[in-house]
Structure 1
Amino acid sequence: MSALPRTIHARAPLRLGLAGGGTDLSPFCDLYGGTVLNLTIGRSAFAAIELRDDNRVEVVTGDLGIRESFPVEAPISDPRLALHRGVYERMIAEFNGGQRLAMTIHTNVGAPPGSGLGSSSALVVALVDAFRLLFGAPLGPYDIAHLAYEIERIDLAQAGGKQDQYAAAFGGVNFIEFLAGDRVIVNPLRVAPAIRYELESRLVTCQSGVSRHSSAIIERQTASVKEADCKAIDAMHRLKSDSIEMKRALLMGDFGAMAEILNHSWAAKKATAAAVTSPHIDAIVEHALANGAEAGKISGAGGGGFMFFLVAPTRRHQLIEALRQKGTEADAVVLSDTGCRAWVAPDHRTAPTPKTPLVAA
């Protein structure tokens, strides 16, 4: 067996869900089929694996300020590092014959936990991709996304849907179908360059200033389907229909229709669970609409985290300033077309010394 690379780096993008979010939850997608339209943005989760020789596993999280070290034969016990533990245990068991390895795992995520941007799933995808390269595992984007989903939802029993893992693995603008039997179809959309530039120029995000715990909202939405709550199920069907209409509007560059669909989806999303919104969140939406926004909603399950708005490019600066004056961290959006990527980091200890460049007289 060839020696393993000493250092692996990986990254995976975060996402915005334009329409259909929530229909990727079981059992709704198992019973009726779910559809989501999302796009990845210029924020990412970063992961690094550095092999060690001292029989310890160390985890360092740059964004959370955690640095913990454990004996290689012991589990990663810090509950704040559950995602790291889940990926380490699954990948070691499945692709290294259960043989535990001493290593340092570094991570850094471009948005706080509970952001509504799929940050936790992007982190898991980046870690899975890093381990894939470390072990030379034959995994494509579908495999990476499905494995990340299983680690979060099955191994760790964390509530949530499926869209975040597939968005992070594939990147770009995707219309994703979630079908019975764990079948997922990712349809990359061929958005004309001018429409893509226009969309990027019309998007604004802001942090609501409210921390969110999406599990309670997701559990309520899941329970509503199991209990055949007609109001909640009808709202989910509206969200699914909105994703189809949003795809059509986006491909045609009909931003007026996109704004109308986004507002419609926000109303439908609020009907799926009471905790999706709050007076504070509603006040931010109203303030944005009064200052140029044409539509907006919470990103992700709801309850807090990031919000995003559609606005005419000529009024985007005005909207950002108005949201900042209200105390939120508002900013423009940069789109990203790249899904998860992993690479072997250059090893300066073995790299050849560069030749001294010639200097013209």
Structure 2
Amino acid sequence: MRRIINSVAPIRICDNGGWTDTWFAKYGNIFNIAVYPYAEVQIEVMPLQDGKPDISIYAENYGEQYIVNRERLGYDKHPLIAAAIEKMNVPTDISISVTIFSEAPAGGSTGTSAAVTVALIGALDRLTPGRLTPHEVAHLAHKVETEMLNQQCGIQDQLSAAYGGINYIEMFDYPYASVSQINVPDSIWWELERRLVLIYLGKSHSSSRVHEQVIKHLENEGPDCKKMCDLRKTAPIARDALYKGDFLALGQSMIQNTEAQQNLNPALVGEDARKIIEIAKDHGAVGWKVNGAGGDGGSITLLCGSMSFTKRDLIKEIEQENKLYRNITIYLSRHGLRVWEN
């Protein structure tokens, strides 16, 4: 019988303590916020029929449709998709058509690729006996990137996509971590959502020579170096501030984290990000965080002041400053990975 499996997973912003969720950090503290827009996956499942492809992929954002050879998956095109399918051991007696879409721009430094992988693994999990927990899905998604594709990758993006909500992650021994969700009254949740702005800087972020230099430097200095400790400190400050509903303190933790990123290497806070920060200051923003590892391109999270019109004026000026800058409408995601069938 024909089945349609749907799954969605949120992206993340405001990742205080990022860089400490990596193999060279060994242990870390991370605060992050899961938000819409989702990464979306839909799988149409049919009985295997002679003459019809058993696995087809539609990467909707790229306008690409192609057939995957189960015997020779290969990683030449959209390797995350191929690796996730290989990892999940799709049964050989069915034909599947996989559609993947996200409104969040690729390379936006918001964990979009991790959200796609989590959503895809969650959907593929419906094709085999048993069910994975959110933590297990996140762990598998991380292994796809690091072990199968040999990419540099921390653990926080996959955990945020799997759990949703606002998270405090304690990585006690890479890659093993505990996740504590920060539950706050609706009034704090709504106010946080109202104040947050996500600005895409107009070009995709990608791991670069700068990141390789930073990693080599941190690896040589060791996990207890001051630069790592400065980053770790920002996560509990953000956690405690949010519990209190203290948005000024939350904003300060974001600023502190961005300065700590810059101390790793000045190029991690690029020219576009600095320009956005100056505009944000002029409009009374109380916090800013260069998302992800930082560097050229990507995105920045802003925490605005108490008046809504200043947020609208801020967005307007940013988009007028450079036609490539774009506000991405976000909503806080109370849920992480969700999987269901039509």
State TM-score, norm by structure 2.
0.91
2:314 equivalent to 1:319: yes
Structure 2 residue aligned with 1:152, among 127, 135, 145? 145
Greater shift, 68-77 or 334-343, is seen at: 68-77
8 Å Cα contact 1:114/1:214 also seen in 2: no
Deviation at 1:50, TM superposition (A): 1.7
Equivalence for 1:307: 300
Equivalence for 1:329: 326
Equivalence for 1:114: 107
Structure 2 Cα separation of the partners of residues 181 and 285 of structure 1: 33
2:109 equivalent to 1:132: no
2:65 equivalent to 1:67: yes
State the one-letter code of the partner of 1:338: H
Structure 1: segments with no counterpart, 5+ residues: 346-361
Structure 1 residue aligned with 2:215, among 212, 215, 222? 222
Structure 2 Cα separation of the partners of residues 161 and 295 of structure 1: 24
| CA-based RMSD | 2.1
Greater shift, 326-335 or 59-68, is seen at: 326-335
Q: 1:331 to 1:165 in 2, by over 3 A?
A: closer
Q: 3-state SS of the aligned residue for 1:38?
A: strand
Structure 2 Cα separation of the partners of residues 165 and 82 of structure 1: 17
8 Å Cα contact 1:291/1:322 also seen in 2: no
Equivalence for 1:57: 55
**1:236-290: CA deviation from partner (whole Å, max 9, x where unpaired):** 2111111111111110011111122211111101112343122232122112212
Equivalence for 1:355: none
8 Å Cα contact 1:202/1:311 also seen in 2: yes
Deviation at 1:101, TM superposition (A): 4.8
**1:295-317: CA deviation from partner (whole Å, max 9, x where unpaired):** 21211111221111011141211
Equivalence for 1:240: 232
2:161 equivalent to 1:168: yes
Aligned residues: 333
8 Å Cα contact 1:72/1:100 also seen in 2: no
State the one-letter code of the partner of 1:70: V
Structure 2 residue aligned with 1:252, among 240, 244, 260? 244
Structure 2 residue aligned with 1:17, among 11, 14, 17? 14
Greater shift, 82-91 or 260-269, is seen at: 260-269
Structure 2 Cα separation of the partners of residues 330 and 51 of structure 1: 37
Structure 1 Cα separation of the partners of residues 210 and 139 of structure 2: 23
Structure 2 Cα separation of the partners of residues 339 and 229 of structure 1: 33
Structure 2 Cα separation of the partners of residues 42 and 62 of structure 1: 18
Deviation at 1:321, TM superposition (A): 1.1
Equivalence for 1:261: 253
Structure 2 residue aligned with 1:123, among 116, 119, 132? 116
2:273 equivalent to 1:281: yes
8 Å Cα contact 1:12/1:45 also seen in 2: yes
Structure 2 Cα separation of the partners of residues 219 and 101 of structure 1: 42
Q: 1:217 to 1:47 in 2, by over 3 A?
A: farther
Structure 2 Cα separation of the partners of residues 188 and 215 of structure 1: 32
Structure 1 Cα separation of the partners of residues 139 and 328 of structure 2: 32
- Asked which structure has the greater CA Rg, the reply is 1
Alignment of 1:346-361 (within 5 A): none
8 Å Cα contact 2:14/2:254 also seen in 1: no
8 Å Cα contact 1:45/1:126 also seen in 2: yes
8 Å Cα contact 2:35/2:332 also seen in 1: yes
Structure 1 Cα separation of the partners of residues 143 and 124 of structure 2: 16
Structure 2 Cα separation of the partners of residues 228 and 100 of structure 1: 52
8 Å Cα contact 2:163/2:335 also seen in 1: yes
Q: 1:50 to 1:311 in 2, by over 3 A?
A: same
Moved over 6 A (4+): none
8 Å Cα contact 2:22/2:174 also seen in 1: no
Structure 2 Cα separation of the partners of residues 45 and 332 of structure 1: 14
Q: 1:332 to 1:110 in 2, by over 3 A?
A: closer
2:145 equivalent to 1:179: no
8 Å Cα contact 1:19/1:242 also seen in 2: yes
Deviation at 1:233, TM superposition (A): 3.5
8 Å Cα contact 2:22/2:175 also seen in 1: no
State the one-letter code of the partner of 1:285: I
State TM-score, norm by structure 1.
0.86
